[in-house]
Amino acid sequence: MSPSEIPSVTPWLRGAIAAGSARGNTLSDGRFQVPYAALEQLLTEWESFLARHGVTREGPVVLECAASVPGALAVLALLRAGSSFALLPPPARTGTPPPPPRFFTLRIRVRSLYDLEPNAPLSPEALLEVTRLEGAHPPPEGDASAAGRLFLRTSGSLGTPKLVVHSQALLIGNALNCVERLRLSAEDRISLPVPIAHMYGLGAGLLPGLSAGASIDLLEGANLPRFLEREAQVRPTVAFLTPNLCTMLLRRRTAPGHYRHVVVAGDKLKPELFETAETLFRRVVNLYGSTELGVIATADAEEARGPRSTTVGRVVPGAGIRLQPVEGSQELEGEVGELWCRHPFPFLGYVDEDGQPWQGEPPFQDGWYRTKDLCRLHADGLLEVLGRTDHGVKRDGRLVMLTDLERTVERVPGVERAIAVLGGESLRGQRLVVFCVPKDGQPLEGDSVRTACFELLPSYAIPDEVRTLAALPLLPSGKVDRKALREAATAAPPASQSQERT
């Protein structure tokens, strides 16, 4: 599909409603269940409510919502009305939430399902809170004030979060581009236990699922008990999982027969876990994308060729990729380099918290977007993501990729998960610090893990320090908060943890 063939939001949504209604499909979340056939009337009511509270096409608004039926209705109402909005996760119940961008004057907050009275109706009056943001200023001219825009915050796992500006029409095109590769249809029952305020849940899960007219079960604040409860009731054929939730599910002893496949994005599963997951779910579809470009590459749900546990499939239709050599990449086997992508449905750019064009390094070059990911391209077109180009360091003249270090440390007995970050300076350059999570609460000492590394790694790749954690810090998207670990790596470790050796 080319950008010129993308339907506008209204006909796209009308087609989705028709496809879902024909099979009697629903949107559900354990509290509310809405037939597709009722969506048109509901969205008209929600649009009318928002208009009465000052939400128009002329000014952007903030929408804070979780993965729930009310959250999905709010997203669809704003899309259908052509209102520009920033889609942000709801504030955490602990800690101070980050302030909304300063050029949004209204905030729409969707109430949590867990805060509702038992008999609360599915009405905007009961479920939406619209407030005026104090100290906000009108958006400047340009993308910040244009109609039909969607703003998403980057995860901030590697630095300061940015606001990514999307055209709503191109976002729909991106979603339609995924449906065939993910093999979604109106016959599917999709489980969506991931945030819809992030591109994975929105652009890979919710919008493609709607495009296919599938039944969709949303799960707010997903954890293992909640997922298992909904799984038993919905019996999904497809689920969109984070690697963390997928790993927890692998501890189950039975294999449900209702799955066709699960989609996993973010950090890759270990090869042995991938094989176990395929036994449990029939097929695992690795997906690769970004907040900027949506889905870039994904495996085919019906194709079994190639090294599927380590690759993310082929690029989506219409996309082009090239690998640009970076320092040290020539030391790696195969066609390896930094990935640049030309996408048929690209984002429009970045703005800062005041709505001004972002002043950092331009992400585009002649229509190509720099992903900053180091990748290997296999002969059959399968793409393997090796890690971030800034997740590597030269040690004794040799390139050490942090992802390779992590996978090796995870081979140490008793280690469930390992994340490597760069710490402060040492005589050898930047220090390598590894944080480990033990398997099933087993005792694990950083010193013993580091000692085991001498048998598994060359001398230049031995971590300077290993620390153990009960659990890794996670971002709302489910990704590991590497920024938090990097900050911790510069702090003095507890006395029981391993220390740098000379």
Give percent above pLDDT 90 in the chain: 60
Residue 371 sits in a domain whose CATH number is 3.40.50.12780
* Same domain as 408, residue 378: no
Q: Give the pLDDT mean for 87-106.
A: 83
Do 182 and 70 share a domain, yes or no? yes
Instruction: Give residue 501's pLDDT.
Output: 40
Overall domain count for the chain? 2
Domain boundary among 384, 408, 432: 384
The answer to whether the CB of 143 falls within 8 A of the CB of 351 is yes
Full residue range of the structural domain in which residue 360 is found: 3-90+100-302+310-384
Task: List Cα–Cα distances, 107 to 78, 132, 146, 154, in angstroms.
Answer: 13, 6, 18, 19
Q: Span 31-47, mean pLDDT?
A: 97
Whether 315 maps to a domain, the answer reads: yes
Using the predicted structure, report yes or no on whether residue 222 has a pLDDT greater than 90: no
User: pTM to 2 decimals?
Assistant: 0.85
Q: Give CA–CA dist 91/97, Å, rounded.
A: 5
User: In which band, very low, low, confident or very high, does the pLDDT at 407 lie, cut at 50, 70 and 90?
Assistant: confident
Per residue in 133-168, pLDDT (tens digit) is 998 998 999 889 999 999 998 865 555 678 999 999
pLDDT in tens, 383-399: 999 888 877 777 777 77
- Of 384, 413, 443, the residue that ends a domain is 384
Q: CA distances (Å), 357 to each of 163, 164, 210, 361, 436, in order?
A: 10, 10, 32, 12, 39
Residues 146, 149: Cα–Cα separation, whole Å: 7
Residues facing 480 on adjacent strands: 474
Question: Per-residue pLDDT averaged across 306-331, rounded?
Answer: 86
Domain match, 397 and 362 both: no
User: Between 479 and 312, whose confidence is greater?
Assistant: 312
DSSP per-residue string spanning 124-150:
HHHHEEEEEPTT--PPPSSGGG-SSEE
Same domain, 281 and 182: yes
Report in angstroms the alpha-carbon separations of 447 from 32, 341, 409, 435, 465. Answer: 51, 42, 13, 12, 8
The answer on pLDDT for 494 being more than 80 is no
pLDDT (average), residues 175-187: 93
Percentage of residues of the chain with pLDDT beyond 70? 91
Whether residues 360 and 417 share a domain: the answer is no
Residues 8, 36 share a domain: yes
- 294 vs 476, residue with greater confidence: 294
Half-sphere exposure of 256 (CA within 13 A, CB side): 20
Domain match, 326 and 400 both: no
Short-list 310, 365, 306, CA closest to 339: 365
Q: Give how far the C-alpha of residue 9 lies from the chain's centroid of Cα atoms, to the nearest Å.
A: 23
Q: Examine the fold and report which residue of 337, 362, 384 is the final residue of a domain before the chain moves on.
A: 384
Please check whether residues 137 and 77 belong to one and the same domain: yes
Other CB atoms within 10 A of residue 34 CB? 17
